[in-house]
Amino acid sequence: MKKILAVSAIVASLFAADYQFGLGFGRNGVTNSPIKNYNFGNIRIGKYLPKNHILRLEAERSTSIKTKTENTSLNRVLLNVEHYFNIDSRIVPYCFIGGGYQWIKGAYDNAIVADLGLGARYNITKVFDVFVEARGLRDFHNNDNHYGLIGGIGFNFGGVKPAPAMEPVKKVTDSDNDGVPDNLDRCPNTPAGVKVDKNGCPIDSDHDGVPNYLDRCPNTPAGVKVDKNGCPIDSDHDGVPNYLDKCPNTPKGMKVDKNGCAISYNFDITFDNNSAKIKPEFMNKIKKFAEFLKTHPDIKAEIQGYTDNTGNYKYNMILSERRAKAVYEALIKLGVNPKQINWVGFGPKNPIAPNTTKEGRAKNRRVVAKIIY
């Protein structure tokens, strides 16, 4: 026992800080051996190491071991490495493995041993805990196995805590439940279910200022101005966004090409059956087109008149020309340069609705303008 205490004292001097001290009592069962089951005391000193490890020096003694022929005593020194699991609980499980040497008085030989086991500590305070271990130990010289249970008390000193559960746990709040704590969240109150970046802000894949969950036009090219829905702005509402529109400020009602330039204009003028008279409610449409032509003197237009398919074809051709000419003359009176426009009738050709219904025939009695650049 003096040898054990001397070795313990030397190793303990190396443990300057952050260490544990423990006292325990256990019982071992022995297989394949003349030694009977026995009780023993355990004293241990441990040094905290990085990554949840402890280096433990242990000394054990039993004074009442029975064999087939005599009573004897056993002294044992072990050096174990323990790994404890860093969980948020007062109960801290751990495992350990190591080896050592044992001395036995009598006919039974001294021997090198190895052990491994599982245990758990219950942290009563930051300093004081109780522990229990299940251990298996192999005696390589005498070829026998010792299986035991150990229970005891421990004391922890220095800066390292025996388990994170003993640290004061700071409550981390995440008010909008987006996975980013409030102290790091630059975009608090994010709606539930919205994906966010590391700053807690809704993801905006195309970087247009409108987050994905509100963006109706994802993948907008960089630098393009967008509206509140994340869609490129289309000031003249012709279906071609400003950044692609080569003919901005196209009047409403214009049919445009892929460049946003007008190719036709539907006056939405309908005529009574067998009539070429323009109704007063359609004059605003004609005025808007007149302003368009006057602000774009490089553009020309062909005023096209149409009829439905009822009646004589030849008469319908004449009637469609009268309708086109009526709009043509209205544009001239509004100040449009006569060199910019001409007129033509197409009769019942190119219907835009079925002529089998009253409503369809009314839509076909119309005047449109074809834009010529």
Q: What is the pLDDT of residue 163?
A: 46
Smallest Cα–Cα separation from 346: which of 322, 330, 371?
Answer: 322
> Under DSSP, is residue 339 helix (H, G, I), strand (E, B) or coil?
helix
Q: What is the pLDDT of residue 174?
A: 86
Q: How far apart are CA 45 and CA 86, in angstroms?
A: 21
What is the widest separation between alpha-carbon atoms in the chain? 138
Query: Which ranges of the chain would DSSP assign to H, the alpha helix?
Result: 2-12, 283-295, 313-333, 358-364
Cα dihedral 257/263/268/272 (nearest 10): -140
Q: How far apart are CA 255 and CA 266, in angstroms?
A: 8
Q: How far apart are CA 58 and CA 304, in angstroms?
A: 106
> Under DSSP, is residue 253 helix (H, G, I), strand (E, B) or coil?
coil
Map out the domains of the chain as residue ranges.
Answer: 2-166, 254-372
Q: How far apart are CA 92 and CA 296, in angstroms?
A: 83
Cβ atoms of 241 and 224 closer than 8 Å: yes
Q: What is the pLDDT of residue 3?
A: 53
pTM, two decimals, is 0.43
Strands laid side by side in the 262-270 sheet: 254-256, 262-270, 366-372, 300-305, 341-345
- How many other C-beta atoms are found inside a 10 Å radius of the C-beta of residue 318? 13
Just give the CATH number of 2-166. 2.40.160.20
- Residue 145's DSSP bridge partners are 31, 138
Considering the four listed CATH numbers 3.30.10.20, 3.30.1330.60, 3.30.1330.90, 3.40.109.10, the one that applies to the domain covering 254-372 is: 3.30.1330.60
Q: How far apart are CA 146 and CA 114, in angstroms?
A: 10
From first to last of the 373 residues of the chain, give the pLDDT tens digit. Answer: 555 545 455 444 444 458 899 999 999 888 877 788 889 999 999 998 888 899 999 999 987 777 666 777 889 999 999 999 876 678 999 999 999 999 887 767 888 999 999 999 999 988 899 999 999 999 888 888 889 999 999 998 875 554 444 555 567 788 888 888 988 888 988 898 889 999 889 999 899 989 999 999 988 999 899 999 999 999 888 889 999 988 888 877 788 888 888 888 888 887 888 888 999 999 998 999 999 999 889 889 999 999 999 989 999 999 999 999 999 999 999 999 999 999 999 999 999 999 999 999 989 989 999 998 7
Q: How far apart are CA 304 and CA 93, in angstroms?
A: 90
CA-to-CA dists, residue 373 to 247, 293, 298, 368, angstroms: 12, 12, 7, 16
